[in-house]
Chains A and B, each alone.
Chain A
Amino acid sequence: MTFTPTAIRRAFDLDLALTAIAFKRRAAYKTQWLVGSLIGGTELLTSLALWSAVLAERGEVGGYDWDAMRTYYVLAFITATITFAGTEGLTAQRILDGMVAIDLLKPVDFQRARAAEYTGGVLGNLPTLGVGLTVSVLFLAPLPPVSFTAGALALLSVVLGVPLSFGLMFLSTMLCFWTRSYHGIMWSRRTITAFFSGLMVPLALMPAGLQAVVGWLPFVHIATTPSNIYLGRVDTAGALGLVALEAAWCVALWFIGRVLWNRAIKVVTVHGG
C-alpha cells in the first residue's frame, strides 16, 4: 500500500462509514437522548445533594472540600456520559440471535468495526454532554483546572477513556458466546465499572489497601485519573505516568479482546439457519 493521502483515507473509509451510521442511529433516537440526560442529571444532582449535606457538617472528606467534590462529580458526569455510550446491546443481540454468523462472513475485522460503531455512539452522546456541561457550569460553578497542562492532560485522559471503555465493553460482550442473555452481564459490568472507577464514590475515600489494588485495574482511569489530574492531586510527572498507564491498558484490552474473539468464534452455537 502506498502512503498517499487518498490511500490513507480509503483505509479508514469503512471505519468512518460505521461511525457515521452509529452516530446517526444514536442521534435519531431523541427519546434516548432525553432519557440519558435526565438519568445522568439525576445521578449528578443526587450525589451533589448527598455531599452537600455531608460537607456542610464536616467541611472536608478524603481531601475534597465542597468545591473540589462538586467539580469531581461534574467530571464524573462527563466521563460517565462517554463511558456508557450504549452500543453494546446491538453487538450482544447479534451474538445472541446468531446474526453474528453473517458478521463472520463479512471481510471486516469484527472488533475494529465494533470500535468504529462505539465511537459513533460516543459522538452521538455529545449533545447530551454539551447540554449537561453547560447547565453544570452555569449552575454548579465547578473549579477550573489547576493549570493549563493539568487541563490538557485531563482532557487527554478523558479522550483515552473512549478506547478504554470500548475495550471493557467488548470483553464483556464476548461473554455472550457462553451465555444466553446479556442483561446480567451488562448490569454486572456497569456496576463494577461504576464502583471501581470512582463514579460512585471518590476512590480516595476507600481504605488504603483497596485503593492500592484498585489503582492497578483499568477502571480507575475512567473517572479518577482525569479528575486527579484536573484537581492537581497529582503533579505533572504523576499525571504523565497515569496517562501512559491508561494508554497501556487501552492497548492491552484491545489485544485481550482479539484473543478472546478468536477463541469465541470457535465455540459459537448458532441456532438454525
Chain B
Amino acid sequence: MAANPASARHAAGVYRRSIGAYLRSIAEYPADFWVMAISGTFWQIVLFAFLSILFDNVNAIAGWGYHEMLILAGFLATSWGSTALFWDGIWDTGKLIIEGDMDYRITRPAPVLIQVASKHVGMQVFGDVTIGVLMMTVGWIGAGISAAAIPLALFLLLCAAVIQASLLTIANAANFWMKGRTPVVAFMLAELQNESMRFPLTIFPAAVRLIFTFGLPLAFASFIPVQIITGKLDLWWLAAPPIAAAATALLAVLAYRAGLKAYDSAGH
C-alpha cells in the first residue's frame, strides 16, 4: 500500500462507510443496543460505587484523593471505552483467521486493518463513555482543576485512545500465530488494564511499574496523562503520550502486516 494522500483518503472513506453501516444497523435491533449500553453502564457505575465506598473508609491511596481517583477511573473508562466505538472489529481477528474469512478482506482494494477494525461497534461504549465522562467531571470539579485544562485533557484522551487501540491490535494480531477463535492475549490485556490501571501505579512494586510504563506502555494511556492533568507531573511530560501513541500505532501496523504475511487461509 502506497502511503499517499489518495490512498489515505480512500482508507478513511472505507472506514467511514463501514462503521456507518454498523451504526445504522443498531436501529434494527434496539433491544440489543440497550442491553449492551446498559451493561457498559453497570460496570462503570460499580467502579464509581467502589471508589466511593473505598474513600468512605480511607482518605488517600498513595497520595491520590477521591476526586483524583475518579479522574483516573473516568479517563480510563473513556479512552478504553472509545476503542469499542472506533476499533471494535479488531476483536474478530481470531475468528476471521480460523474461518478463512480474512481472504475476503485481503482481496478487497482497501487496507485490511481498516476493514477488520470497522466491521463492528461495541455498543457498550455508550454506557462506558457516558459514565466515564461523568466520573471525570465529578472528579474534575471536586479536585478544583480549571476549565482551561479541558483541551489538554481532550488531547491526552485522543493519544490514550490511539495507544489502547494499537495495543489491542498487537494483542489481537497474536492470533495470526496462536490460532484460535478467542483472542486470548487481547482478553488478558483488557483484564490487566481494567484491574490494575484503575489505581495509581505507585501502589505496585517498582518492577511492575517499569513493566507497565515501558514494557507494555499502558501507563501512557491513563496514569501519566492523569498525572499531567492533576499537576502531579510537569507539563514537559506532555511530549510523552503523543510519542507513545505514534510508536505503538507504528508497531500495530507492522504487527498486523507481519500477521497477514504469515496468514495461510482455512481453505474453502
Q: Do A and B come from the same complex?
A: yes
Indicate whether B78 reaches chain A with its CB closer than 8 angstroms.
Answer: no
A237: B residues at CB distance < 8 A: none
B57 contacts A185, C-beta separation under 8 Å: no
Return A7 CB to nearest CB of chain B, in Å. Answer: 42
Interface size class of A (residues with CB under 8 A): 35 or more
B49 contacts A195, C-beta separation under 8 Å: yes
Indicate whether A179 reaches chain B with its CB closer than 8 angstroms.
Answer: yes
Indicate whether A206 reaches chain B with its CB closer than 8 angstroms.
Answer: yes
B182: A residues at CB distance < 8 A: 32
Instruction: Tell whether A184 pairs with B35 under 8 Å between CB atoms, given A54-B61, A200-B50, A205-B57.
Output: yes
A181 contacts B36, C-beta separation under 8 Å: yes
A62 contacts B188, C-beta separation under 8 Å: no
Indicate whether B184 reaches chain A with its CB closer than 8 angstroms.
Answer: yes
B46 contacts A46, C-beta separation under 8 Å: no
> In the bound complex, what is the Cα–Cα distance between A119 and B259 (angstroms)?
38
Indicate whether B58 reaches chain A with its CB closer than 8 angstroms.
Answer: yes
> In the bound complex, what is the Cα–Cα distance between A72 and B151 (angstroms)?
43
A179 contacts B188, C-beta separation under 8 Å: no
> In the bound complex, what is the Cα–Cα distance between A31 and B94 (angstroms)?
14
Q: Is chain A's interface secondary structure helix, strand, loop, or mixed overall?
A: helix
Chain-A contact segment, one of B11-19, B96-104, B133-141, B191-199 = B191-199
Return B217 CB to nearest CB of chain A, in Å. Answer: 18
- 0/1 per residue, A55-69, Cβ < 8 Å to B? 001100110000000
A184 contacts B191, C-beta separation under 8 Å: no
- Determine which of A35, A46, A183, A200 lies in contact with B36 in the assembled complex, contact meaning CB atoms within 8 Å: A183
> In the bound complex, what is the Cα–Cα distance between A238 and B57 (angstroms)?
26
Chain B interface residue count, CB cutoff 8 Å, equals 38
Q: Is chain B's interface secondary structure helix, strand, loop, or mixed overall?
A: helix
- Determine which of B58, B188, B204 lies in contact with A54 in the assembled complex, contact meaning CB atoms within 8 Å: B58
Per the 8 Å Cβ criterion, residues 29-72 of A in contact with B are 31-32, 35, 38-39, 42-43, 46, 49-50, 52-54, 57-58, 61-62
B62 contacts A53, C-beta separation under 8 Å: yes
B61 contacts A181, C-beta separation under 8 Å: no
Interfacial residues, chain B to chain A (CB-CB below 8 A)? 29, 31-32, 35-36, 38-40, 42-43, 46, 49-50, 53-54, 56-58, 61-62, 123-124, 178, 180, 182, 184, 187-188, 191-192, 195-196, 199, 202-205, 208
Query: Nearest 8 CB-CB pairs, A to B?
Result: A184-B39, A184-B35, A184-B36, A53-B203, A188-B39, A195-B46, A187-B39, A49-B203
With A179-B35, A187-B42, A205-B57 known, 20 other A-B pairs at CB within 8 A are A32-B182, A39-B191, A42-B196, A43-B195, A54-B58, A54-B61, A179-B32, A181-B35, A183-B124, A184-B32, A184-B35, A187-B39, A187-B43, A188-B35, A191-B43, A192-B46, A195-B50, A200-B46, A201-B50, A206-B53
Interfacial residues, chain A to chain B (CB-CB below 8 A)? 31-32, 35, 38-39, 42-43, 46, 49-50, 52-54, 57-58, 61-62, 178-181, 183-185, 187-188, 191-192, 194-195, 200-201, 205-207
23 CB < 8 A contacts A-B:
A31-B180, A39-B187, A39-B191, A42-B192, A43-B191, A43-B195, A46-B196, A49-B204, A57-B58, A179-B32, A180-B29, A181-B32, A183-B124, A184-B32, A184-B40, A184-B123, A184-B124, A185-B39, A187-B43, A188-B35, A195-B50, A205-B56, A206-B53
